[in-house]
Amino acid sequence: MYHSTDEAKTTRMDVVRDRARICTRCGLWESRTNAVVGSGSLDSEIVLVGEAPGRAEDESGLPFVGRAGKLLDDALGKAGLSRGDVFIMNVVKCRPPNNRRPKKVEMVSCEPYLVEQLEIIEPSVIALMGNSPLSYFLQKYGLGRAAIGSVHGKAYHVDTSWGGVTLFPLYHPAAAIYNRKLTETLEKDFERLAGLEGP
């Protein structure tokens, strides 16, 4: 699920995963099959944050394994990256019914897991895939409001508890399923992401 050369990081992430599996902080636990904590490298400079698990993710316990996951893998590959080079997680760890967008109360309930994961990994770049992670992080760092269509590919620099971080909004890969014209935009933004370094 994830790997690191640092045993302490792995142990801490195991604790987050175990807590999320039995979490009842919001109502999403009632219909979940699996809490989806994330996967990838705990030593990565880049963390990709999506919205919430879908059906395939809920069943497997892994992030981005459905159709959107295939598009994500393609975009990473064309940018010279792989899942092993990054860490992938969602703002919300349990699947909302019918794949609806997470409610604010659900994102707030899940926030401690997200914050702890980021503090474990200490990335220099956080890619915000879609409007839910975008709105969460812009609000968290006092950057106002924006829609992904107007700020994708734009870098924001913020100070976090572990140092300076670049926030980099991207279209959610699922957007390219419904609008194939976004595929090229998504791939170009991922190429920019691969070349980014923290502030």
Query: pLDDT per residue over 56-88, tens digit each?
Result: 999 999 999 988 899 999 999 999 999 999 999
Statement: the pTM of the whole predicted model exceeds 0.85: yes
Residue whose C-alpha is closest to residue 10's, from 51, 42, 45:
42
pLDDT at 197: 63
Cβ neighbours around 98 below 10 Å, total: 6
Asked if 54 contacts 67 with a C-beta cutoff of 8 angstroms, the reply is: no
Query: What tokens were used for 54?
Result: 């879908």
Identity of the amino acid at 97: P
Query: What tokens were used for 52?
Result: 């919430």
Mean pLDDT of 22-44: 96
CA distance 177 to 182: 9
pLDDT at 3: 72
Identity of the amino acid at 100: R
The string of pLDDT tens digits covering residues 145-196 is 999 999 999 999 999 999 999 999 999 998 888 888 899 999 999 999 999 8
- Please report how the helices 7-21 and 104-121 are oriented relative to each other, as an axis angle in degrees rounded to 10: 160
Domains of the chain and CATH, by start: 2-194 (3.40.470.10)
More confident residue, 68 or 28: 28
Mean pLDDT of 25-50: 96
Query: What tokens were used for 111?
Result: 């926030």
Estimate to the nearest angstrom the gap between the alpha carbon of 7 and the chain centroid.
23
Buried b or exposed e, range 126-162, using 16+ CB within 10 angstroms: bbbbbbbbbbbbbeeeeeeebebeebbbeebebebee
